[in-house]
Structure 1
């Protein structure tokens, strides 16, 4: 009766059924206490051509599914905690090697024992040595992306997938008789060149684009997604798996998509609402219950599942115990690396095209993919909630830079400084307006316009920004509450450059905030320049004593970040001997070769003649209260017209 009616071909009907499944699949799975992943995969199987036949796996669904697969790997690269990865890179290397080698050895042995030729067994093993981050959505929802075990698993993804790719290429070339020296020269050069362009060239281009043409978030979102597609296509052309290209481009874009910002939320929402569910449904549509019910297929799939699970579990347990992480964290490492999708399908397709395996082995791999999705989803739901979200109190200085904006004349300068500090740490600016409880609607509208101006400046400086208008009982209370609520790591406060005796050091409000702030405060007197040409650190004899080292260290931390973002140099003007200053720079973890040192007598007296247009002048908090006010005011007068920043540690 339904012949000629199914499968649906009307675009509207196809769209409606697909997204009804996106909606209903997870809800039904939740009722049955199954992972949402399984609801989508099984739902795709039911409506697919091998069961009811409501939808055919047409170009539209295949395209959405393929984009969802790329997005899974892309999001993993975007969310990788780069700072944690640098600190614990040995974790990723050890786990990456272990989670690759263990399945290679175990699955190869099982496959040969099941009667598969050695070369075909190696290709099948390479399929299961790689992995797809099927359970990453759950990990992300639980805010575990900065967890050490998760960081190790994400870093291991790159190592295992690239290694599996190399094994597949070697085995396929050997089977096809193409393993000549010239082939390997071209392949190696292509892989090295591709990684160099993506990891080093793309970030520089992205920085230029975001500070120029890409100052609109819609343009940025389009740029990121198109970059993901281009990277995948180019990777395929030079013989690299497209999912590896998607992961690498995610790493390249990582510094430009800070967590908990508008652009990060838009990328995640689009992927998790559309692309990933479409991928899982598309995968389910491949499954044919009758074809996979064959005895030989089931036996082979069972052996593969047992071997792959045992190998991945052994790698996770061994590496996790070596790292010293908890049992649930080892479980989440297993969950992230047990999932199989594109890599497994690609490897088995290559083996089938070379005539090394038949339809039985291919169907067995499809069963393994389904089982791995179930295992990955179940283990993530089991172990994820038992892991405490990581403490972000040790985040880099520029992770979340809060800047109150109230004066239209200084908003551009203050936000530019905040954006330079934030962008260097792949962070974000939080621009806040604090209004009194009795604020009028016209005041709120005016301050919202000011917040939009701050957003435009921050985006133009290449940084992401979040804006808000806050109603509070006091200005200082509103600023400090924002720092706590937004998990701020640094605070930039505007200063007029002087204060009278009744106002204290910087002014009553700033002094109160400095006294109570849980984060470092950068007291900034905006200058007349709209571009940073040099970063000047003023270092007097009093600034290198034991009581002032914290302030001096903070001043250099800020100087390094501003100089890096502005692509300029640091100049230290001091009344100390140059050798002593260089020793202090080493003690403060500052690259002494990156700083030019100018030794003069009477620093503040000579400063007006040493400064030039475009200089940003920094100093640390002096060690005594009397010098805090007097010294900062003298520096502001000496640096008339230039931006002056006094770094005050908390």
Structure 2
């Protein structure tokens, strides 16, 4: 009766088995202190056609596994710290070259030494030169995505994978007898056009889409997943492996999925809970355990390739890490991210089989390498990740995480709009915060949640991602500052009435927050305009004479953000000469218009108009300039006023 029951063919039954394997795999191996992926691959091998035959050749599992493979590369692109990558591009290039050249030479030489033809050996070498960051979920769980060693390794992943796939393309073209000048000309043109579309066109289109049609999170999630699959399909159409397309799609969407936001959690959860485990199960189904332990050719070739691949990846990680000054644990993370084989190896296996260069023995040997390196990647990450300190906020841009305390229903949209424009260029997240006292009633909590929902809609309309938070604390300032630390804020936007105070700058609560805030503060008097048509920066010699230029640097950063998001001009009203002004700005931005007048406030009042956002600067503490900010608010005549206060 059982032979008639298995293998399963009903889609519902197959899916149920897959979910049971995803559930059982981690549970079985965690008591043994083994990575989850070992359990998933092992159970896939057991239920696959080579052992029990419960599931055999199922299109559903292989389709989900392929999507999981794309998802793994897509997630790596999404989580790559682009600012860190820009700072660490030297390390990425050097490590990418090392982890490409050393394994390519070692594994190709090992394959030739064991009797494989040269082209077959090159294909095997390309299979084991690239790497798939199988240990990345573990590293992300320890909040190490922005660690310099991890950033360099993820950057090297792109370089090594592209290099390996180019070698594979050349070898396969040579084996097939194609690959003339015309072929490579079309391939180069197609690759260049693809990169332009993915890295320049897609981000611009995504920004437009999120600010218009994509203000609903379900729509955004569907858009991101559709983009991943379409990028992979387009890459395959022009001769690039789909996994590279998925990685580039992750890079293109990187700035639109900020860490710690709802959309980031949904993307990550979907991959971790279904698609990536399905990929690991489908990989296990390809294994033939009998051949792995009985066939001498498979055992010999597999052992040699494992030794060559692991030794060369360890050597590249160790030498590169020491050159960059990374700790032993960080070098271990580099090894864990670069030793795992899956995506590129499986692609090379398929190509080699189609060309008739790789037989069952070679395929089983490469599958053995995949399983052993997956185990090593997981063990290395589990061992080293707890010993690495998560990075702080150093180097994060102003708009990565903008906190906005909201309490006034009349100004919530205006405040959140300014916060969204500050966060927009980084595609950062806006955190709409409500702080309530300990004695708050349930009705007050519900009212503030409703206010948070309005703030959420306003932020999504600017194209920024948003999360809301209702906090109970001893005081408003304590709640605000505690939230800045807990939410890893990079900027604080606080609402201001625009009135002067007999003592202090802006009022008791704002002054206390400004005094001890660990991040820059933008004090905002919301105006009556619903759209930004121009940014007006007010600079006086008095402000620049007191303290340093930190206030001007912050104001220049805000000017760049507001003008970029709203696509509007900037007017500078100042009592400085134009030459001195440009010297002070030092290329931070180029004003569209400069108005030089001794009486700055009178000039401002005469030029301010509908849709203007007036930006002023102030040192951290100065009652004189606090009153000056009040006079700017008066001269702005109902327009939005933002006072930039550096930390």
Tell me which residue corresponds to 1:87.
87
Counterpart check, 1:409 vs 2:410: yes
Residue aligning to 1:604: 601
2:27 equivalent in structure 1: 27
TM-score normalised over the length of structure 1: 0.97
Alpha-carbon distance in structure 2 between the residues aligned to 1:296 and 1:363? 10
The TM-score, its normalising length taken from structure 2, stands at: 0.97
1:230 aligns with 2:227: no
Instruction: Answer whether contact 2:78 2:254 (CA < 8 A) is retained.
Output: yes
**Aligned residue for 2:645?**
648
SS of the residue corresponding to residue 193 of structure 2 reads helix
Contact 1:548 1:621 in 2 (8 A): no
SS of equivalent residue, structure 2 residue 2:
coil
Q: Does structure 1 conserve the Cα–Cα contact (< 8 Å) formed by 2:572 and 2:591? A: no
Match of residue 373 from structure 2: 372
Listed one character per residue, the Cα deviations across residues 347-370 of structure 1 (whole Å, up to 9, x for unaligned) are 132223222232211111111111
- The 1-side partners of 2:362 and 2:620 are apart by 73
CA distance in 2, matches of 1:504, 1:398: 27
Greater shift, 343-352 or 92-101, is seen at 343-352
What's the offset of the Cα at 1:622? 4.8
1:631 — aligned with what? 628
User: Would the aligned equivalents of 1:622 and 1:631 in 2 still touch at CA under 8 Å?
Assistant: no
* Secondary structure of residue in 2 paired with 1:473: coil
Partner Cα distance (1:255, 1:517) in 2:
26
The offset of 1:464, in angstroms, is 1.1
Note the alpha carbon deviations across 1:69-117, whole angstroms, 9 max, x for none.
0010000000001111111111111111111111111111111111111
Query: Within the alignment, does 1:40 sit opposite 2:37 as a pair?
Result: no
Aligned partners of 1:31 and 1:622: how far apart in 2?
A: 57
- The whole-number CA distance in structure 1 between the counterparts of 2:582 and 2:592 is 9
Moved more, 227-236 or 505-514: 505-514
Per the alignment, residue 134 of structure 1 pairs with 134
Structure 2 Cα separation of the partners of residues 504 and 322 of structure 1: 52
CA distance in 2, matches of 1:623, 1:162: 49
Distance, in Å, in 2 between the alignment partners of 1:624 and 1:141 is 40
For residues 227 and 487 of structure 2, the distance between their equivalents in structure 1, rounded to whole angstroms, comes to: 30
Aligned equivalents of 1:153 and 1:623: distance in 2?
40
Deviation at 1:562, TM superposition (A): 1.8
Residue 594 of structure 1 deviates from its aligned partner by 5.9
Distance apart, 1:595 and its partner CA: 5.2
Kept in 2: contact 1:547–1:623 (CA 8 A):
no
Matched-pair contact (CA < 8 Å) for 1:130–1:164: yes
Kindly report which structure 2 residues correspond to 1:97-246, keeping only aligned pairs within 5 A, or say none. Answer: 97-246=97-246
Distance verdict in 2 for CA 1:594–1:38, change over 3 Å: farther
Q: Is the 8 A contact 1:543 1:623 kept in 2?
A: no
Distance 1:597 1:129 in 2: 56
Which structure 2 residues correspond to residues 529-540 of structure 1 after superposition, within 5 A? 529-540=529-540
Q: Distance in 1 between matches of 2:485 and 2:112?
A: 59
CA distance in 2, matches of 1:231, 1:511: 49
CA-to-aligned-CA distance 1:539-594 (integer Å, 9 cap, x gap): 111232251522222111211222222233333221111111111111xx614x46
Aligned length: 646
Cα offset for 1:223? 0.7
- The match for 1:615 is 612
Aligned to 1:184, the other structure's residue is in SS state helix
2:588 aligns with 590
Q: State how far apart, in whole Å, the 1-side matches of 2:366 and 2:637 are.
A: 71
- Taking the aligned partners of 1:553 and 1:571, their CA distance within structure 2 comes to 16
Distance 2:355 2:440 in 1: 74
Is the aligned partner of 1:313 residue 2:314?
Answer: yes
Q: Within 2, Cα distance between the matches of 1:43 and 1:623?
A: 61
Secondary structure, counterpart of 1:304 in structure 2: helix
Aligned to 2:473: 472
In structure 1, C-alpha distance between the alignment counterparts of 2:516 and 2:544, rounded to whole Å: 25
1:550 corresponds to which residue? 550
CA separation in 1, counterparts of 2:454 and 2:12?
41
Give deviations 1:414-447, integer Å, cap 9, x for gaps.
Answer: 0011111112223211111112222222222111
For the Cα contact (< 8 Å) 1:490–1:521, is it kept in 2?
Answer: yes
**Please, which moves more after superposition, 400-409 or 29-38?**
29-38
Do the aligned residues in 2 keep the contact of 1:560 with 1:570 (CA within 8 Å)?
A: no
Distance in 2, Cα, partners of 1:322 & 1:569: 46
Which sections of structure 2, spanning at least 5 residues, go unmatched?
none
Farther off after superposition, 564-573 or 418-427: 564-573
Q: After TM superposition, list the pairs within 5 Å mapping 1:318-397 onto structure 2.
A: 318-397=319-398
The answer on 1:489 being equivalent to 2:490 is yes
CA contact (8 A) 2:619 2:646 kept: no
The alpha-carbon deviation at position 452 of structure 1 amounts to: 0.1
Q: Secondary structure at the match of 2:90?
A: helix
User: Within 5 A, what are the aligned runs for 1:289-300?
Assistant: 289-292=289-292, 293-300=294-301
Q: Distance in 2 between matches of 1:489 and 1:4?
A: 62
- Show the counterpart of 2:56: 56
5+ residue gaps, structure 1, are none
Supply the distance in 2 between the matched residues of 1:326 and 1:625 (Cα, whole angstroms): 44
